[in-house]
Structure 1
Amino acid sequence: MFTTRPTLQGTFGMVSTTHWLASQSAMAVLESGGNAFDAAVAAGFVLHVAEPHLNGPGGEVPALLAPAGGPVRVLCGQGPAPAGASIEHYTGLGLDEVPGSGPLAAAVPGAFDAWMLLLRDHGTKPLADVLSYAIGYAEAGHAPVEALGEAVAQVRELFTSEWRASAALYLPGGRPPEPGRLFRNPALAATWRRLLKESGAAGGSRERRIDAARRVWREGFIADALLRTAACPARDTSGERHASTLTGDDLVAYRARYEEPVTHDWHGWTVCKAGPWSQGPVLLQQLALLPEELDMGTPEYVHTVVEGSKLAFADREAWYGDAAEVPLRALLSREYNAARRTLIGDTASDELRPGSPEGRTPRLPEHPGADRTVAPGTGMPSLGPADGDTCHLDIVDRWGNMISATPSGGWLQSNPVVPELGFPLGTRLQMAWLEPGLPNSLTPGRRPRTTLTPSLALRGGEPVLAFGTPGGDQQDQWQLHFFLAAVLRPPVRGGLDLQGAIDAPNWHHESFPGSFHPHAVHPGALTVESRLGEAAIEALRRRGHKVTVGGPWSEGRLCAVARDAETGLLSAAANPRGMQGYAVGR
């Protein structure tokens, strides 16, 4: 089968990320003797520089890691709501939703501490080594992708009239970053150089210096600068100016942490995801809802997958979150999903139909209504100054260490840049509801439910496949189709056809409240790539799907790496959509 690129194969190491600079930086770490976790941290910090419209140090990152010979663990780099971020505080300001941008939408930043914890516990390199790539690109400059300049142009008026520190960084000479002209972030480079100097003064072991860097972040000059900017009211999507609830106590109290993954067995595979503080288990529910037989590539296949996905996402909306107990065992049980599967008929459903695990009564948020939705088929929300997306990376090394991570948040569009640091806070609190009593209600000290959802799959108990994608609510829809395409297709050169699975025509539906402000919903809306073909598209329309035909390469931005446990053969592939994701390896 023709693919845009080959599936890479080798035995030394494989990297796939959403930007070529991150991919090659990670590969350079592997070449210098580092392991997959060293390489992941280096790539993560390069992504902050190369894709600041998609992620930043003030955002968050969940990861799934499989150390060679050890158990799969979840690394949670999703910060909670600050102690002062109560529903009463927001409604007292006259708000019925958390703004989609600005200081009031900021959770406690989690990405930095998570990367440091990963490096300390599972890496081998000094912090200075893995930060050197990001410092180099921030200081000497890099050639920006078109999307970076487009993102800045979208918020030019906001930057020049309100967020002046952002304008100073991202509109040098009054112009957005452009391809072919080097773009620099000297403040960010200076931040990391000072961090290295202060943490290095702690002396002692590599681990001690990394812990010192964590203290600098939450208690030192970085914390001071974050809090100064957070305390300054800034205009957000409400049209008003608000300050953050973030305090020094919130920063001091936060620690990234490890958790057990949630798993589901399907056709000899064990798929691992983060818990229901993320949307991760929705991928597992979609697998549990599939019938035994699937005829891939047919309109019947697309219809069945989409209708099952609607049921799983309805359960996500009713049951997932960090603010209440989640009946996860029941939601993933064979009996529950067998009963749910009977709801899949021959025609498309426009209803949001959550189930009743353990006989419990589902409760959905009061939705703001169709008059406040965004245009269907766009994939990510259109939120004016809050537009943003996500990055992803997957790495496997010659020793068998494997990691999948999805950094996001802290976008340049999300909050004013902290002038001394060169990056802004994030806006993850926009995912939470200001309605009490929901599993995803805004709750001090609890994590807003995130769409970030890396994946790792085992076969025979051995980690074999790491994969993921940007894309908000679409992530676990695109990942489901990729996973099915990868494991059900015939092998290529004796291994998984990763590139063929990534290149296959993809789709997404929007029959549930979106996770981002203003929580848009479009019952029955289904967006497909035109490559699906006219006959299939018309067959789906006859079944009642409200089909929007997107561009031929518009759905999904997947990365993937794999390892054959028997032979040690490594492989990798990356998404051609967007023209910036690359896999490298040997």
Structure 2
Amino acid sequence: MNAGIQAGRPQLSGIFGAVSSTHWLPSAAAMSVLEKGGNAFDAAAAAGFVLQVVEPHYNGLGGDVPIVSYSASTGRVQVVCGQGPTPRAATIESITDLGLHQVPGSGLLPAVVPGAFGAWMRLLAEHGTLPLADILDPAIGYAEHGHPLLAGAADAIEVLAPLFETEWKESARVYLPGGRPPAAGSRFRNPVLADTYKRLLREAAAAPGGREAQIAAAERAFYRGFVAEAIDAYVSSTEVLDSTGRRNKGLLTGQDMADWRATVEDSAHLAYGDLTVHKPGVWSQSPVFLQQLALLEGFDLRGMGLGSAEYLHTVAESSKLAFADREAWYGDPDHADVPLDELLSPGYTRERRALIGAKAASELRPGSPGGRLPHIPRYGSDPVPPSREHWMSQIHNGLPTVVRATEARNDTCTVVVADRFGNMVAAVPSGGWLKSSPVVPGTGLSLGTRAQTMNLEAGHPNAFGPGRRPRTTLSPSLVLKDGAPVLAFGTPGGDRQDQWTLGFFLAVADFGLDLQAATETLAFHTDHFAASFTPHESAPRRLVVEAGCDPEVVEELRRRGHEVQLAPEFSLGKVCAVGVDTERDLLLAAASPRGRQSYAVAR
């Protein structure tokens, strides 16, 4: 077991509210909002903005977020899509004419419309109750007065410091106070970001009308006012060194921002036993969770035993099939015909389930829903430019944080909230991290680079093109039973989110573990398919399992053909969860001990 990691935490319970997030300060902020009389929507938004401040290596104000929620007043589940689209000038030729074979993972070329702010504003306008100042005040306080800098953030800043000093000068002004990388645990401030939040509030307060009018004014200030103007001026006039080794301008404009608004959509959902699982749609990878569940419902998982070789093998092989379909079929449904109903249909699922055998599959096998031919994109290779600087290889990889020789890549954030009124919210914020793109002068924010998840093959559902939502990896989950919410959860982890949370969910739904115990079960994943982030690497037959796995199980998995790679114990994922114990009329909260910073609160 990793030094300092303590499993066996208690599941928390209360009657007032339950919160869990990937950082203790957002969790505390969310609970403070509930204590002010706010609801789960208010609390989740407040936590989301604090996450932008205290986890700058994982997300930011220039990033994106999908939010899935249940409203007690409407009795409905809805999804707010905070995944901003590509610019109008985003054509395949705009990339290939530069001699590139894939969308870069950093800089300005892969920048998309920042969706997080608009998504939180849409959620607050429709379901929140508190004034906008109460929502933004915690984030402003931590940005202006400081917060203890996480070790991961300090590590990323130290590695990227030479890039900031020589090329990304505005990033240096924000992240190198006094001209030096800040130490882990030191009090870190981002006064420019604080000023951006405060100006958004000032413009909101100046608007005539009540709370909803102020939220609309803040949204206008961001997408049509001073933030959009700063982004437009910077992107249109500045050539930025990126992972190509060259300096390129971006494609994003102020008009792209003005033309966008976060949408509210119905969820993708599937019944699993007496539960109904709700996810964002096919503009995210989220429905792979549902496809995995559909496949697994045809197996006796309880009979296999949690953590057995048969269990790990069956789950991993189901994941391979679901993610193969993701590669072939998922994309923005506004621009592509994605056959989700057929992908989740019983007949199609039976055909796919029959492909799961006793041995590990070595090929990527997408299906043919309705007889359609699948299209797996091929990602061209753009070599890392020669450089003696370590940071060049870092920005060539599109993952948020510094890439080490480890499988413990727990990028992205999560916040989940349940309140005493019967509301529940799950969100997975990401994008706009400090490694993605230079800080835009005068704003304190970096732009998100989600377009790197797209391919350059015309006709593919996830092809790079104007006004399209890149297929995001972000994947919050919300579960109903008898029409009422009982569980919400999420985790950081890029492509692996819907594998790590699947293990958590099966531990609860099939094996009866409490939420906290379920976050502490053995985590594992396959890297059989192309990664969403540049350089889109894959490792067919690789099965990554935490080192706490029984050696006999590892031996059996290898006998079945899996290339088992052991990751450090308690290193994969940071599942955060809230729930409802309907029998005892209690709210529940849990947070994985992995990473030593996720934090649950219940009272």
Q: TM-score, normalised by structure 2?
A: 0.93
Instruction: Pick from 449, 454, 457 the counterpart of residue 435 of structure 1.
Output: 457
Q: Tell me how far apart the structure 2 counterparts of residues 382 and 319 of structure 1 sit (CA, whole Å).
A: 30
Letter in 1 for 2:104: P
- How far the C-alpha of 1:303 sits from its partner, in A, is 0.2
User: CA deviation digits over 1:106-158, x for unaligned, max 9?
Assistant: 01110001111111111111111111000001111011110010111221221
Q: How does 1:228-239 map to 2 (within 5 A)?
A: 228-231=233-236, 232-239=238-245
Q: Which residue does the alignment assign to 2:562?
A: 545
Q: What corresponds to 2:272 in structure 1?
A: 266
Residue 221 of structure 1: which of 215, 221, 226 is its match? Answer: 226
Local SS of the residue matching 2:336: coil
SS of 2:588's equivalent in the other structure is: strand
Residue in structure 2 matched with residue 419 of structure 1 by the alignment: 441
What is the CA–CA distance in structure 1 between the aligned matches of 2:204 and 2:481, rounded to whole Å? 41
SS of the counterpart of 2:44? helix
Q: Which residue of 2 aligns with 1:494?
A: none
Aligned counterpart for 1:319 among listed residues 306, 324, 329 = 329
Residue 212 (structure 1) aligns with: 217
Contact 2:548 2:569 survives alignment (8 Å): yes
Distance 1:544 1:365, change over 3 A: same
**Corresponding residue number in structure 2 for 1:27:** 31
Contact kept, 8 Å, 1:560 with 1:573, in 2: the verdict is yes
Distance in 1 between residues matched to 2:65 and 2:599, nearest whole Å? 20
Quick check: 1:14 aligned with 2:31? no
Q: Deviations over 1:203-255 (max 9, x none)?
A: 31100011000110011111111112222110111111111111121111110
Q: How does 1:116-131 map to 2 (within 5 A)?
A: 116-131=121-136
Residue 252 of structure 1 is matched in structure 2 by 258
Name 1:525's counterpart in structure 2.
542
Q: Does 1:461 align with 2:483?
A: yes
Match of 1:304 in 2: 314
1:286 to 281, 292, 297: 292
Aligned residues: 572
Instruction: Indicate the larger mover: 172-181 or 91-100.
Output: 172-181
Q: Give 1:35 deviation, angstroms.
A: 0.5
Q: Residue 4 and residue 228 in structure 1: after superposition, are their counterparts in 2 closer, same or farther (change >3 A)? A: farther
DSSP-derived class of the 2:147 partner: coil
Name segments (4+ residues, structure 1) moved above 3 Å.
367-372, 381-387
CA drift of 1:464 comes to 0.7
Match of 1:406 among 423, 428, 453: 428
Deviation at 1:446, TM superposition (A): 1.2
Q: Does 1:397 align with 2:414?
A: no
CA distance in 2, matches of 1:242, 1:435: 22
Provide the secondary structure at the position in 2 that maps to 1:463: strand
1:500-539 correspondence runs (5 A): 500-539=517-556
Note if contact 1:155-1:384 (Cα within 8 Å) is conserved in structure 2.
Answer: no
Task: Choose from 348, 353, 363 the match for 2:365.
Answer: 353
String of CA shifts for 1:474-527, please: whole Å, max 9, x gaps. Answer: 000111111000122336xxxxx0011100010111000110111111111111
**Deviation of 1:434 (Å):** 1.1
1:38 to 42, 47, 61: 42
For 2:440 and 2:594, the matched residues in 1 are separated by 32
- Counterpart of 1:58 in structure 2 is 62
Whole-Å separation in 1 of the counterparts to 2:453 and 2:494: 11
Q: Give 1:175 shift.
A: 2.6
CA distance in 1, matches of 2:541, 2:185: 42
Deviates more, 1:270-279 or 1:241-250: 241-250
The Cα of 1:292 is off from its aligned counterpart by 3.2
Q: Does 1:555 align with 2:562?
A: no
Answer yes or no: is the 8 Å Cα contact 1:113–1:255 preserved in 2: yes
Q: CA contact under 8 A between 2:63 and 2:448: conserved in structure 1?
A: yes
Secondary structure of the 2:67 match is strand
Specify which of 375, 387, 395 is matched with residue 363 of structure 1.
Answer: 375
Paired AA for residue 136 in structure 1: G
Deviation at 1:560, TM superposition (A): 0.3
2:352 aligned with 1:331: no
Return closer, same or farther for 1:369/1:247 CA change in 2, 3 Å cut-off. closer
Q: Give TM-score scaled by structure 1 length.
A: 0.95
Q: CA deviation at 1:4?
A: 3.1
Aligned 8 A contact 1:348 1:545 in 2: yes
Question: Shift of the alpha carbon at 1:384?
Answer: 4.6
Query: Aligned partners of 2:530 and 2:570: how far apart in 1?
Result: 25
Pairwise CA distance, 1:385: 6.7
Q: Identify the residue that residue 113 of structure 1 maps to in structure 2.
A: 118
Question: Whole-Å Cα distance in 1 between the matches of residues 548 and 591 of structure 2?
Answer: 19
Q: What is the deviation of 1:85?
A: 0.6
CA distance in 1, matches of 2:45, 2:412: 16
Aligned counterpart, 1:378: none
Counterpart amino acid of residue 584 in structure 1: V
Identity %: 55
Q: Write the deviation string for residues 75-113 of structure 1: whole angstroms up to 9, x where unpaired.
A: 100011110011111111211111000011101110001
Distance 1:256 1:467 in 2: 22
Q: Report the Cα offset of residue 463 of structure 1.
A: 1.1
Equivalent residue for 1:156, pick from 149, 157, 161: 161
Maintained 8 Å contact 2:242/2:395: no
Q: Residue in 1 aligned with 2:497?
A: 475
1:52-79: per-residue Cα shift (whole Å, max 9, x none)? Answer: 1100111100010101142000110001
Determine the C-alpha separation between the residues in 2 that align with 1:348 and 1:489: 25
Is the contact between residue 557 and residue 575 of structure 1 (CA under 8 Å) also seen in structure 2? yes
The answer on whether the counterparts of 1:15 and 1:395 sit within 8 Å (CA) in structure 2 is yes
Contact 2:412 / 2:428 at 8 angstroms: preserved in 1? yes
Question: Any conservation in 1 of the 2:231–2:253 contact (CA below 8 Å)?
Answer: no
**Cα contact 1:383–1:517 (8 A) shared by 2:** no
Q: Aligned equivalents of 2:353 and 2:494: distance in 1?
A: 25
Letter in 2 for 1:411: W
Match of 1:375 in 2: none
- Which sections of structure 2, spanning at least 5 residues, go unmatched? 1-5, 385-392, 401-410
Distance in 2 of aligned mates of 1:501 and 1:87? 44
Cα deviation for residue 369 of structure 1 reads: 7.0
Checking the alignment, whether the CA contact within 8 Å between 1:511 and 1:523 is kept in structure 2 is yes
Give the Cα–Cα distance (whole angstroms) in 1 for the partners of residues 521 and 592 of structure 2.
Answer: 10
1:297 and 1:105, CA in 2 relative to 1: closer, same or farther beyond 3 A?
same
Counterpart amino acid of 1:287? L
Aligned equivalent of 1:377? none
Unpaired segments ≥5 residues, structure 1: 373-380, 492-496
> For residues 419-477 of structure 1, what are the alpha-carbon distances to aligned partners after superposition, in whole Å with 9 as ceiling and x for unaligned?
31111111000011111111100121110100001000111121110001110000001
How far does residue 531 in structure 1 lie from its aligned partner after superposition?
0.7
CA RMSD in angstroms comes to 1.5
* Letter of the structure 2 residue corresponding to residue 578 of structure 1: G
Do 1:154 and 1:385's aligned partners in 2 also have CA atoms closer than 8 Å?
A: no
Tell me which amino acid in the other structure corresponds to 1:60.
Answer: D
Cα-to-partner distance string for 1:283-312 (whole Å, 9 max, x where unaligned): 000011113311222100000000011000
CA contact (8 A) 1:102 1:427 kept: yes
CA distance in 2, matches of 1:192, 1:346: 55
